[in-house]
């Protein structure tokens, strides 16, 4: 074939010379060769299709290789190995490579009729908004569908959010007029539904009610359903101002209200409380066994609302055992005598235990 691998056409040999007879075989050979090359060429009107890969030059950001008659600066070009870029007027729109997909303009993904998921990303996605004061990602659900749904890996979080360098929150969640801002569900095992960590002096999370706290009927900022609130971590310094702050140290670790029988009996009846396994009396001593121990160092005990206001307790704790010894103020008010719960009259006693979890 006279066309080379680069596409250049060369006429077959036996050129015509002036004043000589034209050979029919030579003429027919040339015409047949031209016909074959015309057949192997691509029709501008779409007659036939390519039988091999269509190759074009790399192009440039100003002159893309794939372009359009009415807009020659809109199209695609190859800036480097393994990279394809869509451009418009020397401005990058989108870039594809084996390492990543970058979108430089606003991206809008809509569900199709057949496919429930509008976008599936296998390699991860990083979205950076270049326009000032504009969200990097806006997702709107439909009906009962969530706007964003994140599913973590075997040991990875479903979503990770980090606040800005100064005052920007990692995530702002706002409920609808009558709907919750977020539904967070933990994994099927023991994994948490959400892990929120502040940075530096930043707060991990702020939760505000829909109605202002000064309103006539304010709403709850936080509601726990079918679950407990667990505080863990270090306790605050002793001289730290709490300012209505709830910490592990200022929560009661145990509370019990019980009745002694007295009159020679060691019987007791627990009427209310938590973190209590048992209560027993023997002479002047009350022994309370906690379901979960508190640290012996720094434990504090409060005994409010006893049936006799002149009882004063001395308390010790060893592991999960709290031992209380009661002294009763004499009528003269000058001394304390031990009070015998076993032989004395029946008493109603309440005990609050504060301290660090053991």
- For residues 349 and 134, what is the distance between their CA atoms, to the nearest angstrom? 61
- For residues 57 and 64, what is the distance between their CA atoms, to the nearest angstrom? 9
Boundaries of every domain in the chain: 1-53, 56-132, 254-354
User: What pLDDT does residue 304 have?
Assistant: 63
User: What pLDDT does residue 115 have?
Assistant: 46
- Could you tell me which residues are beta bridge partners of residue 278? 289
pLDDT tens readout for residues 248-305: 777 888 999 999 998 999 999 999 999 999 999 998 888 999 998 888 777 888 776 5
Burial class for 161, CB neighbours closer than 10 Å (0-12, 13-18, 19+)? middle
User: What pLDDT does residue 172 have?
Assistant: 78
User: What pLDDT does residue 113 have?
Assistant: 44
User: What pLDDT does residue 119 have?
Assistant: 62
Cα angle 211, 216, 219; round to 5: 35
pLDDT < 70 regions, the chain: 1-2, 13-14, 108-124, 187-189, 210-218, 234-235, 304-310, 328-336
pLDDT tens readout for residues 125-137: 777 777 777 777 7
Q: Count Cα atoms within 13 angstroms, Cβ side, for 13.
A: 0
Instruction: Name 284's Cβ contacts closer than 8 Å, sequence gap at least 6.
Output: 325, 326, 338, 339, 340, 341
User: What pLDDT does residue 306 have?
Assistant: 52
Name the CA radius of gyration of the chain, rounded. 41
Q: What is the phi/psi pair of residue 270, to 5°? A: -85, 120
User: What pLDDT does residue 114 have?
Assistant: 46
Burial class for 17, CB neighbours closer than 10 Å (0-12, 13-18, 19+)? exposed
- Could you tell me which residues are beta bridge partners of residue 319? none
Virtual torsion, Cα 241, 243, 246, 251, nearest 10 deg: 60
- For residues 166 and 169, what is the distance between their CA atoms, to the nearest angstrom? 9
């Amino acid at each position: 074939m006279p066309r080379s691998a680069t596409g250049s056409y060369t006429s077959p040999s036996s050129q015509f010379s002036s004043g000589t007879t034209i050979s029919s075989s030579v003429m027919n050979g040339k015409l047949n060769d031209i016909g074959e090359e015309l057949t192997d060429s691509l029709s501008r009107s779409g007659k036939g299709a390519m039988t091999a890969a269509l190759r074009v030059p790399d192009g440039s950001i100003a002159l893309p290789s794939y372009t359009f008659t009415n807009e020659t600066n809109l199209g695609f070009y190859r800036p480097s190995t393994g990279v394809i870029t869509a451009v418009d007027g020397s401005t990058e729109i989108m870039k594809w490579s084996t390492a990543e997909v970058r979108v430089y303009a606003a991206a809008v993904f809509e569900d199709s009729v057949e496919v429930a998921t509008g976008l599936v990303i296998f390699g991860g996605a990083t979205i950076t908004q270049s326009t000032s004061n504009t969200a990097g990602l806006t997702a709107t659900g439909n009906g009962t569908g969530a706007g964003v749904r994140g599913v973590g890996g075997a040991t990875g979080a479903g979503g990770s959010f980090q606040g800005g360098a100064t005052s920007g929150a990692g995530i702002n969640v706002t409920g609808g007029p009558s709907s919750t801002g977020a539904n967070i569900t933990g994994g099927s095992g023991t994994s948490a539904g959400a892990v929120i960590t502040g940075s530096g002096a930043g707060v991990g999370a702020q939760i505000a009610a829909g109605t202002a706290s000064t309103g006539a009927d304010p709403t709850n900022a936080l509601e726990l359903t079918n679950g407990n609130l667990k505080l863990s971590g270090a306790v605050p310094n002793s001289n730290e101002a709490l300012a209505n702050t709830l910490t592990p140290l200022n929560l009661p670790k145990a509370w019990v209200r019980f009745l002694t029988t007295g009159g020679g009996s060691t019987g007791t009846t627990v009427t209310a409380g938590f973190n209590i396994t048992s209560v027993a009396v023997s002479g002047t001593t009350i022994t309370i066994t906690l379901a979960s121990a508190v640290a012996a160092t720094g434990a504090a005990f409060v005994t409010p609302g006893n049936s006799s206001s002149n009882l004063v307790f001395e308390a010790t704790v060893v592991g999960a055992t709290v031992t209380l010894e009661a002294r009763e103020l004499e009528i003269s008010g000058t001394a304390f005598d031990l009070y015998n719960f076993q032989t004395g009259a029946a008493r109603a006693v309440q005990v609050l235990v504060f301290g660090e979890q053991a």
